Amino acid sequence: MVNINFVPDDYIQNNESRRTNLIYLVLLLAVMIALGGSFVTIKIRQRACIAKENLVNQRMAQTQETMKQLDELQAKRREMMKTALTTAELLEPVPRSILLASLTNNLPAGVSLMNLNLIQKEPKQTSQSATSKFQAAQSGMKEVQERLSMEKVLETHINIEGVATSDLQVAEYIKRLSVSNLVDNVALVESKEYKVEESTFRQFKLTAMMKKDVHLSKDDVENIRGTAENSVWNF
């Protein structure tokens, strides 16, 4: 049996052409959707990267600000420590006039002072090794508080020079100073013969230290000054 096709060829070609165009359109739409999805994904990742970058920049800015504050704190700490040390050096637990009066009051007969030096030093054991900047900033206030009480840490060294008629008088002076309420660690550095015209004297040098945590009452001060009025020094 012979099949006879009554559909025109133009109609068939048009249908095939529309079907092909529809397939192309679907493929184009799929490609556009894929490109759109990729674009959206890239934009999302880009925004996430920008957000992370902003967060990192913010943290870096905070870190820089923290470091700046640490530097300022370190500078203030050094300034406070310097001020505290200067203040501590100026603070005298015992006035020098009282110390000089006490040293004079203990002079045996025939002994005279020629020179007297007072030197304040920080003990070597109180020096500390350097720490990191952050640790120093954390311990800054503690160190400043320690420096504020430096008058209790500084050691007052006393260098005494004088003349006596004999070594026995020098020994007597050392004995009196050793039992004094103000000085300690009295030691003889040098004792040599010293001639003036036909007279012979002993020129001596002593070292001593002021006792720590010395607290003199008003009566003690008045007693020392009252005794000094009868000596060659008048305070």
DSSP result, 93-150: SS-HHHHHHHHHHTPPTT-EEEEEEEEEE--GGG------HHHHHHTHHHHHHHHHTG
Orientation angle between helical segments 9-90 and 140-148, nearest 10 degrees:
10
* SS3 (DSSP) at 230: coil
What are the pLDDT digits (tens) for 4-44? 555 566 766 777 788 888 888 899 999 999 988 888 899 89
**Averaged over 208-231, what is the pLDDT?**
70
Q: How far apart are CA 233 and CA 78, in angstroms?
A: 42
Q: Which of 6-10, 71-75, 172-176 has the highest mean pLDDT?
A: 172-176
Give the dihedral sign, CA 216/218/221/226.
negative
pLDDT in the model for residue 172:
92
Is it the case that residue 206 has pLDDT exceeding 90?
yes
In the chain, % of residues over pLDDT 90: 9
8 Å CB contact between 125 and 154: no
**Averaged over 52-69, what is the pLDDT?**
90
8 Å CB contact between 169 and 221: no
* SS3 (DSSP) at 180: coil
Residue 130 CB neighbour total at 10 angstroms: 7
Q: Which amino acid type is present at position 127?
A: S
Strand partners, 208: 158
